[in-house]
Amino acid sequence: MAADISTGLIALGSGLAIGISAIAAAIAEKEIGAAAVGAMAEKEELFGKGLILTVIPETLVIFGLVVAILILNLAKGG
């Protein structure tokens, strides 16, 4: 494996793409999750809706994953 600085930067870039988007998703899910659990304590039937609302921000990580893969691919091509 060529361990020059550009390889490192590419790895760093894709790592950041995943890591930061995961943190963002976590912050968003934290609040929604707390509210959803509160709602479920009142009304158990809300489980389905609560779950869906809670995982909506997960999209952010998926975008992060796509960007990370793109970065890795670009590096391969370049």
Partner 1 sequence: MLKPYQMSSVIITGPNIIQETVIKELHNLKILHIVEHSKNELADIGKPLESANKLSETLVRIRALIAALNIKKEETGFETGKGLLEIESATKKLNQEASSNLDELRKTEEQLSKNQAAKNELEILKDIDVPLESLTSYKSLAYFTGYIGNKSSVNFLKEELSKITDKFMVLGSIAGKKQFIVLFVEAKNKEQASSILNRHNFSPVNLANISNLKGNASANLKKLEGEAKKLQQRKEAIRKNLNQLSADHKGFLLAADEFLSEQLEKAEAPLKFASTQSSFLIKGWIPSEELSNSIGRLNKVAKNKIFVHFEPAKKEDKVPVKLKNPGYAKAFEFFIDLYGMPTYREIDPTFFIFLTFPIFFGIMLGDIGYGTISFMIFWILKKKMPKARNFFNILLLASFVSILFGLLYGEFFGEEKILELELPHLLSRVHDMFTLLYLSIGIGVVHVNIGLIIGFINEIRSHGFMHAVYAKASWVILQAGIALLALTYFKMIAISPLIGAVFLALAVLMLLKGEGVKGLIELPSILTNIMSYARLMAIGLSSVILAVIVNDSSKEFFHKGGFFIIVGVLILIIGHTINIMLGLLGSFLHSLRLHYVEFFSKFFHGGAKKYQPFGAKE
| Interaction between residue 69 and partner 1 (CB under 8 A) | yes
Query: Least distance in Å: CB of 62 to partner 1?
Result: 5
Region 28-57 residues binding partner 1, contact defined as CB under 8 A: 45, 47-48, 51-52, 55
Which three-class secondary structure state does DSSP give residue 9? helix
| Integer Cα distance of 19 and 78 in angstroms | 24
Q: What is the dihedral of CA 30, 34, 37, 42, to 10 degrees?
A: -160
Which of 16, 58, 67, 75 is the binder for partner 1 (CB under 8 A)? 58
d(CA 72, CA 22): 18
Can you give the binding site for partner 1, defined by CB under 8 A?
Answer: 45, 47-48, 51-52, 55, 58-59, 62-63, 65-66, 69
